[in-house]
Chain A
Amino acid sequence: MLSEAQIERYARHILLREVGGVGQERLLAAEVRIDGLSSVGIWAAHYLALAGVGRLVLVDPRPIPAGGLPPLLPAALAGSARDVSAVAALGAHNPDAKAVVGEPEPKRDGGTILKPAGANLSLVARAAGEASFVGWADAPPCARCIPSGGAAPEAAALAGSLAASRVLAFLLFGEVERGIARIESGREEALAPCPHR
């Protein structure tokens, strides 16, 4: 059952023919783990929280860099743990999205990985230079397939926002299409499966 405040907050989702109150309740009951709070991960976490995903498990104990992680974490929080700070900041935007800090998993390649509970694939999201990379995979491609670092702010925003929209599409419609795409000039190009492992 949606509260009065939730009916108003999520009105623009409820209005979507394919979503409705039923779809919104599904989001509120969902759980997504977000491993890697680079700028990409922060954009993804932010939109998933605004959408009302009920539980977000955030994992990234690294300190926030000097310039902060806009648009969620200001420069004043530099040095604090990314996951702890993101948990607090997201609550102010949406109390329905209960964010908690999760346990890091064993060492893996960098980048952001989103895992909705119930999905058998993970959503990989990364940005480097002007390029964004997003898609469902068993495991993230290695650093030779997808470079990391030095992402333009809008490339990171695109990767994170696409990641959020893919996760929402999975949670609402169960849709998962395997394969990572590279987006740089406005069109998606399929990335070949990682040959380096």
Chain B
Amino acid sequence: MMQSVARTVDIRSFRCPMTWVRVKLALEAIAVGEVLEVLLRGEEPERNIPRSAQDEGHELLGREEGPEGTRIWLRKGC
């Protein structure tokens, strides 16, 4: 991963909409420009979290599948 991660949030045990609630709160806790790492699992969050993040002005930097789930990186936009 290119840039260092300011914070990591694990949302694997939550279901929509609590998944996005947790990511949103984690984004509030970092500064604009910083990177949040999200560990998630499941088709629904894999689709919804990047979309919700982009809708609210954040950037999806990348995604990586792993045995424990999917990791995505979001750069806080605003």
Contacts and interface: CB of A to CB of B under 8 A. Distances in A.
B24 A15 contact: yes
B56 A14 contact: no
Interface string A5-32: 0011001101101001110000000000
B36 to A, nearest CB: 14
Interface residues of A, number: 11
A129 B78 CA distance: 47
A14 B29 CA distance: 14
Contact of B21 (A15, A17, A22): A15
Interface in B8-61: 17-18, 20-22, 24-25, 28, 55-56
By Cβ-Cβ distance, the 9 closest A-B pairs, closest first, are A21-B25, A11-B21, A14-B21, A21-B28, A17-B56, A15-B17, A20-B28, A22-B28, A20-B24
A8 B18 contact: yes
B25 A2 contact: yes
Contacts of B25: 2, 7, 14, 20-21
Interface residues of B, number: 10
A10 to B, nearest CB: 9
Nearest to A10: B21
Interface of A: 2, 7-8, 11-12, 14-15, 17, 20-22
Contacts of A2: 25
A7 B21 contact: yes
A42 B25 CA distance: 32
B77 to A, nearest CB: 12
B46 to A, nearest CB: 19
A2 B24 CA distance: 13
B31 to A, nearest CB: 14
B14 to A, nearest CB: 10
Contacts of A20: 24-25, 28
Nearest to B20: A15
13 contacts: A2-B25, A11-B17, A11-B21, A12-B17, A14-B25, A15-B17, A17-B55, A17-B56, A20-B24, A20-B28, A21-B24, A21-B28, A22-B28
